[in-house]
A = this chain, B = another copy of it.
């Protein structure tokens, strides 16, 4: 109690804390409200305590707290209790979701060099929670199929489409085989998906030490990197099609929901999949025969990597409990004083694969710092204009279960009320990074230019600019020198912003710090408090900086007179993407022309080594020219409207309240016009036509996904159709800007 009393004594007229620079103007605020806002933000900073974060993390990471575990519920209750103490209207929002856990895991190499995989991470005396064996989820991939398969092994590198092309050329088929893939290069779920597509009957995914082990740096506990028996848990549900409970795709897992069976689910993997350590992988890789793998396939093990197949067979047996488990989302609301039906939502997940100090708690405790500070300020009399909702999501690791079910459950209300969603998911020492809706890039830059970097004292924007310059090549340095604007990256998938952003079109962000806290603890028992405070963010200085940054985003969006959207930035970003897809089409056309000519001249046959196996590819078809004229015209109109808005809105903060409200409603709803109701081809859940995760890459973003993926997949009719659909949403978005312009005229 003592601490709370001390903090509540703080007043808005207090001294500016050291962590922010002076700032006078804030976009979207009139001079008076800006002045209040600046004081408020400084007050918030002074209430953010690294010590709090340390205490919370130590508790929350004290035992394994995956979805369905007893600690998961204990943690949700712990957080809910705190949010309530801080003055939030708090509920645990629960849904029953399908979450398979292992009953049987067996992996053997048969034949003369028989080997049985250990499939277990060691208890380390340097890591106090690593020995909590009875509560730990073993190493496995959630939503793997049950299976008992025995077959020869084939090495498929990262298991992405280009790798299968290499295997095809070498005459190696995975049909009826078990494949072994390296982690990395794609989202893990793509590997078994493509393996199954090519006829494989099982899939192993291992952590190669070159990427994730001694090749990256000293292994734990000497250094932060993955040890020899460390393996990466993780979901292999087909999330690029739909996240959320795989038995309720596109609708909430409410008690009355009509569920699909496991067999009917479109996103549960069709073959057994198991993640393994490099120590377990080594004997398997050593058993491979066949051609030596290409240079770029080779990893860090002291062996010659062959593509396979093996002569010796591999036996993989997996069985799971296909149980429903409850997710417990913590939802904490502080009602808006003026515009209660405009919601600013801030979230991070709280569930982990094991103890999850870095992933997710390092982000969760920042959310808690923000909530605590804003709660105290509210008790002191500050009332946000708009409603603020803090969320701790459960079941993120499996498939964004908690957030997706909640968003699906509240879709119509969110579509009406949600102004923005701000996500984080882990944090460490280093440099700010942010992805999100590009209309808010200037807004993001205003904030990062006032938050100070804990290690250097300059703004986190200046530090990020410094590293971009120092690591940049000559061309990049020439391009960005003197322009400290930090680009928002485009969001793909991989955390809880996806349902808000790509399903509902709510302007969204994903932010965090990193780059100086790398390690190999990801989804292992070593993502622990002990590991975190040694290697990730000792002293929680960057946890505090994240709270300062995200807290400002929340407060500014909650209190802005005018939602600070800048459509010229969005225009220029999308225009860049349009240029990219045109270049992509041109390049694919040139490549096809080259391929046709080279095949006609038999160059492939002449260039190959006649002593190596070789299977010629089918010759490319010619690539048509696409009609981009509607899109080009739409982009011109978009630019005109965006430029006009920029001019017309210069003093919008000083409009009468009714006008402002009318304008704001247009502004925060505008991004929804970039959705297409029927969604993307073959995955209707993803409706945003500007940003989506890659269908064949997973987490990695594909911008203008409908057009881009149709071209990449050489589906020419679909590409032309998608150019039309994209033009349509750009036209609709432009109409929204013109509505805003009409209000301002």
Contacts and interface: CB of A to CB of B under 8 A. Distances in A.
B209 A302 contact: yes
Contacts of A745: none
A304 B474 contact: no
Contacts of A456: 605-606, 610
Given A301-B302, A304-B214, A481 B516 contact: no
A147 interface: no
A478 B469 CA distance: 33
Interface string A444-483: 0000000001011010001101110111001001100100
Contacts of A217: 292, 304
Contacts of A300: 300, 302
A298 interface: yes
Contacts of A302: 209, 214, 300-302
A621 interface: no
Nearest to A538: B611
Nearest to A217: B292
A471 B607 CA distance: 9
Contact of A594 (B215, B481, B598): B481
Contact of A591 (B462, B463, B474): B474
A86 B48 CA distance: 93
A597 interface: yes
Interface residues of A, number: 49
A77 interface: no
A474 B606 contact: no
Contact of A298 (B215, B223, B458, B610): B215
B474 A219 contact: no
Interface in A561-594: 587, 590-591, 594
A609 interface: yes
Contacts of A481: 594, 597
A606 B468 CA distance: 11
A604 interface: yes
A478 B470 CA distance: 34
A292 B603 contact: no
A607 B467 contact: yes
Most buried by B among A215, A223, A467, A605: A215
A658 interface: no
B218 A516 contact: no
Give how many copies assemble into the complex. 2
B607 A466 contact: yes
A215 B611 CA distance: 21
A22 interface: no
Contacts of A1: none
Nearest to A302: B302
Interface string A339-354: 0000000000000000
A9 interface: no
A422 to B, nearest CB: 26
B463 A590 contact: no
A280 to B, nearest CB: 15
Interface string A17-43: 000000000000000000000000000
Given A223-B304, A292-B218, A516-B611, A587 B474 contact: yes
Nearest to A482: B597
A198 B732 CA distance: 66
A604 B470 contact: yes
B607 A469 contact: yes
A606 B466 contact: yes
A249 B490 CA distance: 63
A603 B219 contact: no
A55 interface: no
A303 interface: yes
Contact of A590 (B478, B602, B608, B611): B478
A455 B609 CA distance: 9
Contacts of A458: 606
Nearest to A465: B603
Interface string A481-513: 100000000000000000000000000000000
A303 B214 contact: yes
Nearest to A291: B217
A204 to B, nearest CB: 20
Contacts of A601: 466
Nearest to A456: B606
Contact of A466 (B471, B516, B603): B603
A610 B467 CA distance: 13
Nearest to A516: B609
Contacts of A478: 590, 594
A284 to B, nearest CB: 16
A534 B44 CA distance: 74
Interface in A489-547: 516
Interface in A213-230: 214-215, 217-219, 223, 225
Contacts of A594: 469, 474, 477-478, 481
Interface of A: 209, 214-215, 217-219, 223, 225, 292, 298, 300-304, 453, 455-456, 458, 462-463, 465-467, 469-471, 474, 477-478, 481, 516, 587, 590-591, 594, 597-598, 601-611
9 contacts: A214-B303, A223-B292, A300-B300, A467-B607, A469-B607, A470-B607, A474-B591, A477-B598, A481-B597
